[in-house]
Amino acid sequence: ILQTGRALVEEAQVEQKESMKRTPVLTGALRASHETSDFTLGKNTIEVSIKVGGASAPYAVVVHEAMDAFHKVGEAKFLENTIKESAPHMAARISKRLHMNKAAGS
Q: pLDDT by residue (tens digit) across 10-58?
A: 999 999 999 999 999 999 999 999 999 999 999 999 999 999 999 999 9
CA dihedral 30, 59, 54, 12 (to 10 degrees): -50
* Under 8 Å between Cβ of 33 and 52: yes
For the entire predicted model, the pTM comes to: 0.91
Residue 106 pLDDT class (50, 70, 90 cuts): low
**CA–CA gap between residue 31 and residue 42 (Å, rounded):** 30
